[in-house]
Amino acid sequence: MLFNPEATAYIISANKIYLEINPYTEFITPFTPTQIQQSRIFSFLATPISKEDEKTYLLEYKNNYGTSVVAQVHQLASINSNAVLEVPREVAYGQLGSLGLFTFFLFLSTLLVLATVLLYASDRIVAPIQDLSKTAHKFAAGNWSERAPVKRYDEIGELEYSFNQMADELRSINETLRQQVDERTEYIRTASDVAQSIVATFNLDELLEKTTRLIAEKLDYYHVGIFMVGQSGKTAYLRAAHGPAAKEMLLQKHHLDIGSSSIVGWVSANNRHRATSDVGDDPVHFKNELLPNTHAEIGLPISVGDTVLGVLDVQSTHPEAFDEATIETLITLSNQIATAIQNVSLFESSDVNLHELDRLHRASHEIAQKKTREEVFEATGHILQDAPFSTVIFISKDKGLEIYSASDPDYDTVRFDLPEFIDISPISIIKSIKDEVSIIDLSTDTQFPKAFVDIPREMGSQVISLLPMTRDEKLEALIMIGARHKKHLTYTAVQPYINLIEMVKVTLDKIQASDTTEKRLAEMEAISIINQATATVQELSSIYPVLHEQVRQILGDYPFIIALYDKVSDTIDIPYAYENGEVSSIPSFPLGEGLTSIIVHTGEPLMIVENTKQRIAALGAKVVGATAKSWIGSPMKVKGEVIGAIIVQDTKKEKSFDKNSLRFINTLASQVSGAIYNIQLLEDSRQRAIQLKSAAEIARDISGSLHLDELLSNAVTMIRERFNFYHASVFLIDPLGEYAIIREATGEAGAQLKRNGHKLRVGSKSIVGYVSNRGENLVIEDTNKDATYYANPLLPETRAEAGIPLKVGERILGVLDIQSVKPYAFHEEILQTLSIIADQLAIAVINTELFAETQEHLSQHRLLHHITTSAASGTTLEESLRGAVQGLHITLGGDRVAILLLDDKGENLIVGAAVGYSEEDLKSIKIPIDSGVTGWVARNKKLLRIDDTQTDTRYISVSANTRSELAIPLIFRRELLGVLNVESEEVAAYDEYDEEILGTLVGSLAAIIANTRLIQRVRRQAERERMLYEATSKIRRSANVQTILSTAAKEIIKATGAEHTQVKIAITSNQETKGEYE
């Protein structure tokens, strides 16, 4: 301002915007007043006041610069605004305040001066302001050319200049606003025309083409295109366009990926508009070679809620083409396009729904004709393949869901990576479905497992509806219907499929009812067949296959078991077990903690068809091997007592059986239990009769035979065959009582044991060792559970073993050992029968021993008589001794026999005759009289018996395999002649009887030796005398000395057997001469 630069003026527009002239830029700019400033001004404006009062009414407040001002407000009616003039308070009242200090002193003297000053001020200050006010009123009345004349260069002149400048600015603003209003009016009119045009169209292609053309032509844009999001939700395709390159781009099927580096990609991914005033500066802009003149571009989402249907792409050749108002208009237009597209889709959907409803109605009749569950689901899958939605049929399987079929209206489902099975509990799916018909938005968090919702997401669905099929509160199947746009899947669209599901349920119920009726008839027929079979069959082994076949016909080909319970032994036997096409049996085992044992314990049927591990653990049962997925068992009872159980199980899947299956098994068990019990009694009676007959036959054989080996062989063979045992053998204790040696056994294993000389030490840690030592029965019911049991590798299938002593009085003769392939095979009755047989065998052993001993004694006496006779008839000592040892060799069963004679010096024992020794052994036999067993006997002239040569230090080894020895001195008339020595390869081969009989023999042998020696001496003496007589006779007949000497030398050679003889004689005379004759 000219009179005060700090004075300001501003205008308040009709919409309460404060506009002032910036003192620096001299442009009109808006500003924000203080709260007090605003309230004082509006309070003044709200108060009715006359024009005259308005001129003198002053306001005081602090303005937006924080300065205390004095202001005056004037209304500008022509522009519906108010003008405000502010002068700083210090300026307005400052001078008055300073003069006030002198007023008191100069009041009287300055009255005239003051009047003069006031008159001058009125003329110089108030009048110009009033003129300016009149000019402002005219300007406000609409005279935009009205200006205040600037005649002064003081503050008043500055105020007039500022007013004129403000008036120019306001005039320019008014013209700009008028132009913008005209443009906005044209935009709104164009948008209205476009909206009216597209709303009236029900063909999507026509709608989109018309929209792009109208926008491009009416709003004068370079290029307009509409992109639609594809079914996969991953790509935006150019569906319609208008511009110089529109046709070419449509022919090329121009498309952009959602989220790609482009305006369309960014907008479709973020569901927000994006505008760029200069495409060269926007990194997201996609430069299209077909649109080289593009300088500005805007992309606007065509969306319904959070679902992006497409993108409206507008491009201009002018930079800064898209201001805020233009953007708002285009946003409104894109929303109208989205509504129009939705209306078209709804129109098409309603038309489709009518056709779909008719198709599903006709298809339901097709489903109703199906006869099996598989046919129903197969037909349902075929029907859903023609649906306008993505569909998936899930079927409950085990503990999860199996994808039975899947379809998509736009793509082959092969392109989708769908799993065949998802491990999700069907129960959790049912719990998550809150309503009978629910529309589930996959773009939000759901209560369904991720693996489940990933399937419709993989197929591109944004919304799904789940239609469960339940029976007996269990999910049997689940149909999923999905759509790529939320608006397509409505409750109305889903209703026909709900009707289809109801028809499927009705058909399945009908099929189930039919199957149940047929199954009941089949069960009744099966029970009738079993009743007929049990009435005629007399063996358990024949009834088991009949039972199994009927169960297989009714329930299916599952593992099947018949278990029999023996209350006496408290064991379970499984005579019939079927699995994987093979029938086997399981040996007896004790009642334990398995499921079969639980049925026997409780006497109640049991069915477990899911969560078997947890259920079994809850029952406290233990399972050996793989756990069945489904298991049913029913006890067989007679008079309230459990005699066994029938069991069916499935090791592969759960829920293989139901209540009807258990009812059938219960009925079957009650029907056959009586028959099985009667057959058991009959078989037990037969078996008992056979056992008693066997014992009687063995007793008869014993009384009629004294041949022990034959008797034992027949006995063990009969025990094995009649009692149906795996192996039977008889062990007899050796004479020393140290070992139980196998004497007879069955089978090839028994023959090999006999060949190997199998023996067990008495008292050893074995059944035979224990029984042979204690004389008590010992039974191992289950060899697998006895930690001390040692299995014989030749008998690998042994599962139970019993040892029964062979006793006569307190004497233990041996052990009867029986082995079975079945655990718990030795019942009390069987043991009693076997004990009887063992006692009979013990008597047989004693009888045969006595008979054998008697026969052996008679034979030995005969042989000894023969030996004595043979030795006595020998012409020479060597002949007599040789005859004696050969006879003893035969008598003793092949034992080695030697007669050792004392040499002439009486220091050593030399072999007189021997049999059973090798030539090398005989050459080494020369025993000093003070060493060895025979030396001890010769020195002490006493009999000595060695039962085990390995434990006697006096034994001198001649033959390495000698185990026992008996040496008896040969004494004649108290003169030791030698020793009779016998050796055996068996331990304790000789006893008191052998000592007695050989003692008798050595007396005769000693006499024979003495007599033979005497005879030989007499004969030698007679021969010497004869030869001497002949030699002397020849010498007498010789005529000279030479002949005498020669004859004497020859006769000496002849008599002595010498090779050379020399006779020397000495002749004494006066002349000594010496002669020598040979």
In this prediction, residue 817 carries a pLDDT of 94
State the Cα–Cα distance between residues 370 and 628, nearest whole angstrom: 33
Contact 902, 938 (CB under 8 A): yes
Which domains are delineated in the chain?
A: 8-178 (no CATH), 201-350 (3.30.450.40), 369-511 (3.30.450.40), 537-678 (3.30.450.40), 705-854 (3.30.450.40), 873-1020 (3.30.450.40), 1038-1077 (no CATH)
The structure tokens listed for 396 are: 């409950």
SS3 145: coil
- CA-closest candidate to residue 651, choices 398, 453, 435: 398
- Name 115's Cβ contacts closer than 8 Å, sequence gap at least 6: none
Range with lowest mean pLDDT among 647-651, 885-889, 1031-1035:
1031-1035
Own/partner long-range contacts of 140-143 (Cβ < 8 Å, ≥24 apart): 140/74, 140/75, 140/76, 140/77, 140/78, 140/79, 140/81, 140/83, 141/76, 141/77, 141/78, 142/78, 142/79, 143/78
Question: What pLDDT score does 187 carry?
Answer: 64
Laid out side by side, the sheet with 630-638 consists of: 582-590, 571-579, 560-566, 641-650, 630-638, 606-608
In this predicted structure, the answer to whether residue 704 has a pLDDT above a threshold of 80 is no
Six-digit token string for 401:
């869901």
Q: At 1009, is the pLDDT very low, low, confident or very high (cuts 50, 70, 90)?
A: confident
824, pLDDT greater than 90:
no
Average pLDDT score over residue span 551-576? 87
pLDDT at 434: 62
**pLDDT tens sequence across 726-782:** 999 999 998 888 999 999 999 899 999 999 989 999 999 889 999 999 999 999 988
State the Cα torsion 740-743-745-749 to the nearest 10°: 80
**Residue pair 675/534 in contact by the 8 Å Cβ criterion:** yes
Res 355: pLDDT? 61
Tens digits of residue pLDDT in 202-237: 677 788 888 888 888 888 899 999 998 876 678 889
User: How many Cα atoms within 13 Å fall on the side-chain side of residue 1071?
Assistant: 1
Task: Give me the DSSP letters along 478-534.
Answer: EEEEEESSGGG--HHHHHHHHHHHHHHHHHHHHHHHHHHHHHHHHHHHHHHHHHHHH
Residue with tokens 């002349």, as numbered in its chain: 1071
- Spatial distance between the Cα atoms of 255 and 720, rounded to a whole number of angstroms: 91
Cα(1060)–Cα(1053) distance, integer angstroms: 7
pLDDT of residue 1075: 45
Q: What is the pTM of this model?
A: 0.38
Residue 402 gets which letter from DSSP? Answer: E
Specify the pLDDT at position 299.
94
Nearest Cα to Cα of residue 1065 among 1056, 1053, 1073? 1073
The SS3 call for residue 1006 is helix
Q: Is the pLDDT of residue 1053 over 80?
A: no
pLDDT in tens, 15-38: 788 878 776 666 677 888 888 888
Query: Where do the H-state alpha helices sit in 62-122?
Result: 89-106, 111-121
Res. 613: pLDDT tops 90:
no
Q: Using one digit for the tens of pLDDT, what is the confidence trace for 922-974?
A: 777 788 888 888 889 888 888 999 888 888 888 888 877 888 999 999 888 88
1077 — pLDDT class (breaks 50, 70, 90): very low
Cβ neighbours of 968 (radius 10 Å): 25
Closest CA to 482 of 442, 448, 452: 442
Predicted confidence (pLDDT) at residue 352 exceeds the cutoff of 50? no
Residue 409 in this model has a pLDDT that exceeds 90:
no
Cβ-Cβ contacts under 8 Å for 847 (sequence gap 6 or more): 702, 706
Q: pLDDT at residue 201 above 70?
A: no
* Average pLDDT along the chain: 80
Bigger pLDDT: 568 vs 796: 796
User: Would you call 863 helix, strand, or coil by DSSP?
Assistant: helix
> Residue 545 and residue 562: Cα distance in Å, rounded?
10
Mean pLDDT across 479-507: 82
Token pair of 190 as six digits: 């164009």
Q: 202: exposed, middle or buried (C-beta count within 10 Å: 0-12, 13-18, 19+)? A: middle
- The residue among 918, 893, 914 whose CA lies nearest residue 981 is 914
pLDDT at 1: 41
Confidence of residue 1071 (pLDDT cuts 50, 70, 90): very low
401 within 8 A of 424, measured Cβ to Cβ? yes
Distance (Å, rounded) from C-alpha 737 to C-alpha 762?
A: 7
770: Cβ–Cβ under 8 A, 6 or more apart, which residues?
763, 764, 776, 778, 803
pLDDT confidence band for 1074 (50 / 70 / 90) = very low
Question: Three-state DSSP class for 69?
Answer: strand
Q: How sure is the predictor about 379, in pLDDT bands with cuts at 50, 70 and 90? A: confident
Query: Which residues, at least 6 apart from 785, have a Cβ–Cβ distance to it below 8 Å?
Result: none
* Strand intervals (E) in 289-389: 296-304, 307-316
Sheet holding 439-441, edge to edge: 421-422, 400-407, 390-397, 474-483, 463-471, 439-441
